[in-house]
Amino acid sequence: MNSHHDNIRAVAWRDARLYLLDQRLLPHRQEFLAFETAAAVADAIRDMVVRGAPAIGVTAAYGVVLAARAAFASASSDWRRVIEKDLALLAAARPTAVNLCWALERMQGAMKDVPGDPESALLHEAVRIHEEDIRANRRMGELGAALIEQPCAVLTHCNTGSLATGGYGTALGVIRSGFASGRITGVFADETRPWLQGARLTAWELVQDYIPVTLLADGAAAWLMSQGKVDWVIVGADRIAANGDAANKIGTYSAAVSARHHGVKFMVVAPTSTIDLSTPEGKAIPIEQRPESEVLSLADQPIAAEGAAAWNPSFDVTPAGLIDAIVTEKGVVLKPDTARVAALFDAG
């Protein structure tokens, strides 16, 4: 893949510390923050310094390395017990993103047989998780782009690129691959209220990588589709249930309903670590409720009438019946249902 369309990394391990690109400051400032404790990493996940399910998982894995370092320093013979508090802090940081718990479980598996100081072995596992995510994203990019039969523009919602993953991106990975191969001619990006991930992050990523992007208000997406401007909606997911229902940033469900009405195809792109086979359907996915202030204000400035309340679910669930394809690194699930999702894992 031409690096011309892959220039961004938001999570990095350097000099025995974790560095995160502070996504709250984009697009106006590019600032990396350094982290040396698991508690600070958990705060960064909760406070949206880093966001996007795969990136949260990678970040949490590095957070375990920091937790292990501290635990071994304070109680070398009993570090596995001491580390439990930090693991709980990391697990509680964002409840909807299943990649978080997946990464923590994998790191706990790596902890079992580590002799002596665990930092080196756990860092090796965290780096593996990071590198595997990038490889999976590139594979999903190829598979998703192959579904686009003729050159067209596409719509995306929220941010699913290098900022939301270990690198390259899920839905934006498909867009990067599709643009490089001539299958995607341009991108329409929903602004994504209330955190404006589309305006601040997706548009920024695409501009950095020289991919044409047009921003629109979330409420304009249905009218855009009615004008025949896009052939596909391509989004990511924070958790996919066993039946193919997909939780993603609030507003995704609206885009899916509009897409079905207007004959626009709908693609969900996510690694298999996002699929939670223990959750039978979307109704069982926990939906994070975030502070009212995020809706009632913008950049800390009030924008609503004083005394008004706000409802602020961070995610919604798109039923599998509205999804044309789920793209993973293991393959594509067309018209997803419980049997087809299970077959993806049986084949793997």
Q: Which amino acid is at 261?
A: H
Q: Which amino acid is at 102?
A: W
What is the C-alpha to C-alpha distance for residues 282 and 345, in angstroms, rounded to an integer?
Answer: 19
Together in a domain, 90 and 172: no
Residue 224 sits in a domain whose CATH number is: 3.40.50.10470
Which pTM was predicted? 0.90
pLDDT (tens, 9 = 90+) of the chain, 348 residues, equals 445 567 789 999 999 999 999 999 999 999 999 999 999 999 999 999 999 889 999 999 999 999 999 999 998 889 999 999 999 999 999 877 788 999 999 999 999 989 899 999 999 999 999 999 999 999 999 999 999 999 999 999 999 999 999 999 999 999 999 999 999 999 999 999 999 999 999 999 999 999 999 999 999 999 999 999 999 999 999 999 999 999 999 999 999 999 999 999 999 999 998 999 999 999 999 999 999 999 999 988 999 999 999 999 999 999 999 999 999 999 999 999 999 999 999 865
Asked if 334 and 324 touch (Cβ cutoff 8 Å), the reply is yes
Q: Which amino acid is at 140?
A: M
User: Given this model, what pLDDT does residue 6 score?
Assistant: 73
Together in a domain, 69 and 53: yes
Asked if 317 and 246 touch (Cβ cutoff 8 Å), the reply is yes
What is the C-alpha to C-alpha distance for residues 236 and 239, in angstroms, rounded to an integer?
Answer: 9
Asked if 279 and 314 touch (Cβ cutoff 8 Å), the reply is no
Is 231 noted as a catalytic residue in this protein? no
Which of 70, 103, 135 represents a domain boundary (last residue)?
Answer: 135
User: Given this model, what pLDDT does residue 126 score?
Assistant: 98
Together in a domain, 63 and 113: yes
Together in a domain, 283 and 219: yes
Together in a domain, 131 and 250: no
Together in a domain, 126 and 162: no
Residue 128 sits in a domain whose CATH number is: 1.20.120.420
Together in a domain, 253 and 188: yes
Together in a domain, 107 and 181: no
Together in a domain, 27 and 162: no
Q: What are phi and psi of 234, to 5 degrees?
A: -125, 120
What is the C-alpha to C-alpha distance for residues 300 and 9, in angstroms, rounded to an integer?
Answer: 28
Q: How far is CA 223 from CA 4, 174, 197, 226, 260, in A?
A: 32, 24, 21, 5, 13
Together in a domain, 148 and 128: no
Please report, for the chain, how many H helices and E strands are present, in that order.
Answer: 13, 16
Together in a domain, 332 and 187: yes
Structure tokens at 238: 């924070």
CA-CA-CA-CA torsion sign (79, 62, 274, 294): positive
Q: Residue 74's domain spans which residues?
A: 3-135
**Any idea what DSSP says for residue 181?**
T
Structure tokens at 55: 């990136």
If one counts every other C-beta atom within 10 angstroms of the C-beta of residue 175, the result is 34
Which of 81, 111, 135 represents a domain boundary (last residue)?
Answer: 135
216 forms bridges with which residues in the sheet? 190
Together in a domain, 164 and 116: no
What is the C-alpha to C-alpha distance for residues 171 and 149, in angstroms, rounded to an integer?
Answer: 17
Question: How many angstroms from the chain centroid is the CA of residue 166?
Answer: 9
> Which of the following is catalytic: 86, 238, 276, 324?
238
Q: How far is CA 156 from CA 32, 102, 171, 259, 281, in A?
A: 26, 26, 8, 12, 24
Number of domains the chain is built from: 2
Which of 71, 106, 135 represents a domain boundary (last residue)?
Answer: 135
